[in-house]
């Protein structure tokens, strides 16, 4: 969606190797988190990376998009035994990325136990230029949303079960070193986004976890649950280990957009606005302000 609220639907396509023609995408496409990468060396092209929960196994599906067209052309879908519970992905280049595995358990009962007790069993994987997956960081309590700073030197991860936002420094081999964190009270972070102009981090999350679980469980059959949500803005302090200065940007009782799971900034005619989304909704909410938020 552009700043004039125009929405462009992009068609998924792939290259048929036999005919060498572009045809509709034939794989399953069951999306969770995603990211978009822009390379200044070729400003006419974007790279899209999607967490794709295919029945044949979870993977990251990578597409390229030529700006001005209506197509996302499939490049490849990569899978690995290390990528068994992907939640979100952040692109580091056109072909490399970090992805969060939110839990270690695969059975429904054990996943519920892992969430309830806040077990630090989640981890982050790295997919490098050589086409191999490695473990980048481990021992995280439900690593959820992931984002990077504009220069790529900092990785932000929402640890929902702690609950906190962790700040990592990536090494040349893809491993991540924890350099700081902010732990929240009465707020469960879900996703993070970075304002590349200021370096500030927006964190969307929930104020009532049990109401959120009830909403997700009942939403398809009808529910009265309206999980309250909030957006926090984090400003990095002088030294990483000092964490962030935390500011409440927006709170709502759940009626604005139930189960709000993401928030990002968009500039509209020189004024910023917040776009809110939800994994359980078919629409977004736009929050405007008369001046910069």
- What is the 3-state secondary structure of the chain? CCCCCCCCCCEEEEEECCCCEEEECCCCCCEEEEEEEECCCCCCEEEEEEEEEECCEEEEEEEEEECCCCEEEEEEEECCCCCCCEEEEEECCCCCEEEEECCCCCCHHHHHHHHHCCCCCEEEEEECCCCCEEEEEEEECCEEEEEECCCCCCEEEEECCCCEEEEEEECCCCCEEEEEEEECCCCEEEEEEECCCCCCEEEEEECCHHHHHHHHHHCCCCCCCCCCEEEEEEEECCCHHHCEEEEEEEEECCCCCCCCCEEEEEEECCEEEEEEECCCCCCCEEECCCCCC
pLDDT of residue 221: 81
Beta strands across the sheet bearing 143-148: 143-148, 155-159, 164-170, 176-183
Please tell me whether the peptide bond between 176 and the residue prior to it is cis, using omega within 30 degrees of 0: no
pLDDT of residue 290: 47
pLDDT of residue 218: 79
pLDDT of residue 289: 59
pLDDT of residue 115: 81
pTM: 0.91
Task: With beta carbons less than 8 A apart as the criterion, state whether 34 and 89 touch.
Answer: yes
pLDDT of residue 3: 59
Q: What token pair was written down for 245?
A: 């200065």
What does each of the 293 residues of the chain score in pLDDT, given as a tens digit? 665 666 778 999 999 988 999 999 999 999 999 999 998 889 999 999 999 999 999 999 999 999 999 999 999 999 999 999 999 999 999 999 999 999 988 778 888 888 878 889 999 999 999 999 999 999 999 999 999 999 999 999 999 999 999 999 999 999 999 999 999 999 999 999 998 888 889 999 999 888 887 887 777 788 888 889 999 999 878 776 777 889 999 999 988 888 889 999 887 777 788 999 988 788 889 887 544 44
């Amino acid at each position: 969606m552009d700043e004039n609220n125009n929405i462009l639907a992009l068609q998924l396509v792939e290259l048929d190797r036999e005919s060498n023609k572009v045809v509709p995408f034939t794989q399953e496409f069951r999306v969770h988190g995603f990211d978009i990468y822009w390379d200044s060396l070729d400003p006419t092209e974007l790279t899209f990376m999607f967490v794709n929960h295919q029945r044949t196994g979870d993977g990251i599906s990578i597409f390229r998009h030529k700006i001005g067209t209506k197509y996302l052309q499939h490049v490849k879908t990569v899978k690995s035994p290390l990528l068994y519970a992907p939640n979100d992905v952040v692109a580091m280049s056109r072909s490399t990325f970090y992805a969060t595995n939110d839990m270690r358990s695969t059975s429904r009962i054990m996943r519920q136990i892992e969430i309830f007790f806040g077990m630090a069993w989640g981890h982050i994987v790295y997919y490098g230029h050589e086409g191999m997956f490695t473990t980048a960081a481990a021992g995280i309590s439900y690593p959820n949303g992931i984002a990077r700073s504009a220069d790529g030197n900092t990785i932000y991860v929402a640890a929902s079960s702690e609950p906190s936002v962790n700040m990592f420094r990536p090494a040349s081999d893809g491993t991540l070193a924890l350099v700081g964190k902010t732990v929240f009270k009465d707020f469960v972070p879900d996703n993070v986004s970075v304002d590349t102009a200021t370096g500030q981090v927006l964190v969307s999350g929930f104020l009532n976890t049990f109401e959120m679980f009830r909403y997700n469980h009942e939403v398809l059959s009808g529910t009265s649950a309206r999980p309250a949500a909030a957006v926090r803005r984090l400003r990095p302090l002088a030294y990483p280990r000092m964490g962030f200065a935390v500011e409440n940007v927006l709170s709502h009782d759940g009626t604005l957009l139930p189960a709000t799971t993401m928030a990002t900034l968009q500039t509209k005619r020189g004024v910023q606005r917040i776009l809110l989304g939800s994994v359980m909704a078919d629409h977004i909410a736009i929050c405007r302000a008369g001046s910069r938020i």
